[in-house]
Amino acid sequence: MTTTLYTPDRDEFAALLEGEPRYRLDQVWAGLYTQLAAPEQISNVPKALRERLASELPTALTQVVRRVSDGGDTVKYLWELHDGSRVETVLMLYPDRVTVCVSSQAGCAMACGFCATGQAGFTRHLTVGEIVEQVVVAARDARQMDRRLANVVFMGMGEPMANEAAVWSAVERFHGAIGLSARHLTISTVGLVPGIHKLTERPLPVNLAVSLHAANDTLRDELVPINKRYPLDALMDACAQYLAAKGRRLSFEWALIADVNDRASDAKELARLCRRFRLPAHVNLIPLNPTPGYPTVGSPPARVQEFRDLLVSLGVNATVRRNRGTDIDAACGQLAAGQPVTLRTRPA
Ligand code: SAH
């Protein structure tokens, strides 16, 4: 594994700086994670050390494409890694908050048919350095736009709970070094039960999002194949334990697919599931984004609204998520680095 600039944690960095005065570690750490500077730019550190750091600790991400949409409010980055694999990151600027959506793996092994990353298959896990760098770059970009990045969601490419150790080290870095609150960090999982248990034991109370999409095992087996290994009962138990341990917000992601999981019976089934497990979950509804390998379309807006209203009338908290970055293939489930880069014009 290559060591890159954002790989070492604070103790490992201390070891790298052996022989330097003790305050050097604070200077370099603050330079990297508070000022968000490149080593060459950490001006209170001697030039020779800056040069040494820059040459011994190369960055992990080479920018292939940086594309902006939604009037400048969505930025998608396509990165190339040392081995040629490619991953994507999406920065989203809202009036009241700035959020970055990061990738945890190159590709994904979960094979959800409606997801572009799932269609492309698995390449490898990302390292902690590769995950952290995505956030540092986005935070730096946000700062240049006079905004402060405060939220990280693991909703880019990959299944974070299949790469739990690296994801957790990254979470600790976001919290301890960059200073992001655990309340503002969200890990989204397809429902890997052992990963949720592991997360329950971890100290920081991050938000858990579960990509549910179906509230019965027959349909969920089809949409989210890993459900065959970890069916809904086991998944809901794991979620309940997480909630009990953390008192944090739990959300369910539900991509609305026309005539597949958007009927009144689906909403009722979901409400029953939440009731049965006493899960005060918040449901995020999003009409399915089109991807090349899945013929079915997303639910039309009226159906989305009906589905939401029905859930709410059944006592389930639900909101419709606005679709960001559709025109630059940066919307949920559209991240697929293997795809040729297509330049599109924005719809009028
Ligand atoms: N592997 C993790 C995180 C990445 S995906 C997970 O599954 O939770 C982030 C969200 O986008 C998931 O809820 C996923 O199911 C959803 N998604 C995937 N493809 C989509 C599509 N085409 N349209 C809308 N949402 C999609």
pLDDT band at 281 (very low <50, low <70, confident <90, very high): confident
- Report how many domains make up the chain: 2
Residue 190 CB less than 6 A away from ligand 1:
yes
Q: Which atom of ligand 1 is nearest to the CA of 115?
A: 19
Q: Which atom of ligand 1 is nearest to the CA of 159?
A: 1
Residue 113's nearest CA partner among 38, 208, 22, 221 is: 221
User: Residues 93-102: what's their mean pLDDT?
Assistant: 96
- Which of 101, 103, 220, 332, when mutated, tests ligand 1's pocket best, judged by the most ligand atoms within 8 Å of its CB? 332
188 and 291 together in one domain: yes
Q: Whose CA is nearest to atom 12 of ligand 1?
A: 211
Summarize pLDDT for 287-302 with one digit per residue, the tens: 999 898 998 899 999 9
Summarize pLDDT for 99-124 with one digit per residue, the tens: 999 999 999 999 999 999 999 999 99
Residue at 3 is within a domain? no
CATH at 155: 3.20.20.70
Residue 170 CB less than 6 A away from ligand 1:
no
pTM of the model: 0.95
Residue at 2 is within a domain? no
Q: Whose CA is nearest to atom 9 of ligand 1?
A: 155
Weakest mean pLDDT among 6-10, 175-179, 190-194, 337-341: 337-341
What does the DSSP 8-state code read for residue 314?
A: T
Residue 211 CB less than 6 A away from ligand 1:
yes
Residue 253 CB less than 6 A away from ligand 1:
yes
Residue 114 CB less than 6 A away from ligand 1:
yes
Please tell me the distance from the alpha carbon of residue 303 to that of residue 264, in angstroms, as a whole number: 10
User: Residues 319-323: what's their mean pLDDT?
Assistant: 87
- Strands 105-107 and 122-125 come out as antiparallel
Residues recognised as catalytic: 88, 332
Amino acid code (one letter) for 92? M
- Strands 122-125 and 317-320 come out as unpaired
Percent of the chain with pLDDT over 90: 86
Residue at 340 is within a domain? no
- Strands 250-256 and 207-211 come out as parallel
Q: Whose CA is nearest to atom 20 of ligand 1?
A: 333
105 and 250 together in one domain: yes
Six-digit token string for 79: 């990165």
Residue 189 CB less than 6 A away from ligand 1:
yes
215 and 276 together in one domain: yes
185 and 319 together in one domain: yes
Residue at 213 is within a domain? yes
48 and 154 together in one domain: no
Q: Whose CA is nearest to atom 15 of ligand 1?
A: 211
Residue 155 CB less than 6 A away from ligand 1:
yes
Task: Identify the domain containing residue 38 by its residue range.
Answer: 10-56
- Which of 253, 283, 321, when mutated, tests ligand 1's pocket best, judged by the most ligand atoms within 8 Å of its CB? 253
Residue at 343 is within a domain? no
pLDDT band at 340 (very low <50, low <70, confident <90, very high): low
Partners of 99 in the beta sheet? 92, 151
Residue at 77 is within a domain? yes
CA dihedral 257, 261, 264, 269 (to 10 degrees): -150
